Structure 1
Amino acid sequence: MAEYQIFSDGACDIGFAKAKELGIGLIPFYISIDHETYYKEIQEISLEEYFRYMTEEKGYPKTSLPSIQDYMDAFRPALEAGKDIICITMTRTLTASLESAVTAKSMLEEEFPHAQIHVINSWVATGAQALLLMEMARMQKNGKSLNEVITYAEKAREDARIHFMVGDLSYLEIGGRIGKVATISAGLLKIKPIIILKGGEISAGGICRARKKGLTQIASITAKHFKETGENPAHYIAMPGTNTIWDDMDSFYALLQETVPGMEFLPPFQIGATISTHTGPGTTGFCFVKKYEYYHI
Structure 2
Amino acid sequence: MENSKVWFVTGASKGIGLILTQKLLAQGQKVAATSRSEAGLIKAIGISSDNFLPLEMDLVDEKSVKNAIEKTINHFKTIDVLVNNAGYGLLGTLEELTDEEARKNYDVNVFGLLNVIRNTMPYMRANRSGHVFNISSVAGFYGGFPGWGIYCSTKFAVAGLTESFAAEVKSFGINVTLVYPGYFRTDFLTGSSLQLPANAIAAYKEVRESESAHTDTINGNQPGDPEKLADALIQMSGEENPALHLFLGQDAYDMANQKISSVQSDLEQWKTVSVSTGF
TM-score range, shorter chain: 0.3 to 0.5
More helix by share: 2
Q: TM-score, normalised by structure 2?
A: 0.39
More strand by share: 1
TM-score by length of 1: 0.37
